[in-house]
Amino acid sequence: MSGELTNARKKLATVPSLLKQKKAMAAVQSVYDAILAMLKGSLMKAEREEFQELLDSTVHVLNSDKKLREDYPLIINYTHGEEKALLEVMREILQELQKNVNASAQELLKAMEKKKRDTLEKGQELIAQDKVSEAQKLFDKLIREFKDDTELRAEVADKFIKSGLYSEALRYLEDALANDPNAIFLYNRIGIVLRKMKDFEAAEKYYLKALQINDKDEYLYFNTGRLYYDWQKWGKMAKAAEKAIAINPNFAEAEKMLKFAKKKIG
């Protein structure tokens, strides 16, 4: 017997165990693969009869599994010699199981998103009540649960920014940047926070780093110009405005910024 057919027999032997582990899709896939190998192989009469007996017992196991019956309520019928028909039934079951997996995944994503939104709102309420420490504990717990979600960290930071709690916001933004060093919007956001904290030198470093990553963003140049406005660096402010206008000639706010800077320069 070929190695491929030997593996097919092994696949059928794993079906009961896979069903016990609630791995219906893997179990049905094993049956599908085994039948396919059987149809492709050149089996002697005794080998074919042995496989057909194995398929009989395997189909009985599938029909006896309550969970699989819930997902696919039709009885699986098998007659010796009709392996192609059984293969199509296995394909149909796999498609049905995949639909259920996709539906379950969508429901899970919705539930996770709702939890994020509800927790963010609750945290915002705590901040409004001046319960900043409680809000941080709540947000930290949420972030631990969604540890790879950079956007979530940025959203948490926004809650503190809106309340003027810039040092608290900065912690979450820096954590987000450590999680995703190539997220250019985080450099920009940190620059804004540092500007509001009047830490102009640190803010400039973040803006310049962002511009190294993307020097085609007019709004990034404009925000850098806002930093130089607060810092009263009029020459640098003018250059930032000019870069923004070069990218977007219709950028009216950048035009105003440039005129203001030139007026200050004299």
Burial label for 254, CB within 10 Å (0-12, 13-18, 19+), is buried
Domain span holding position 61 = 3-104
Q: At a CB cut-off of 8 Å and minimum separation 6, what does 181 contact?
A: none
Say if 168 falls within a structural domain: no
CA distance 86 to 90: 6
Query: What 3 state SS string does 70-98 have?
Result: HHCCCCCCCCCCCHHHHHHHHHHHHHHHH
Say if 139 falls within a structural domain: no
Say if 56 falls within a structural domain: yes
* Residue 86 pLDDT: 93
* Residue 2 pLDDT: 58
User: Which residue type does 225 have?
Assistant: G
Say if 9 falls within a structural domain: yes
Say if 98 falls within a structural domain: yes
CA distance 43 to 7: 14
* Residue 4 pLDDT: 63
Helices (H), 129-217: 132-145, 150-162, 166-179, 184-196, 200-213
Say if 201 falls within a structural domain: no
C-alpha angle 84-13-76 in degrees, rounded to nearest 5: 40
Centre a 10 Å sphere on the Cβ of residue 215 and count the other Cβ atoms it contains: 11
- Among 174, 200, 201, CA closest to 189: 174
Please provide the average confidence, as pLDDT, over all residues in the chain: 90
Say if 153 falls within a structural domain: no
Total domain count for the chain?
A: 1
Say if 86 falls within a structural domain: yes
- Low-confidence residues of the chain, pLDDT below 50? 1
Say what the pTM is: 0.61
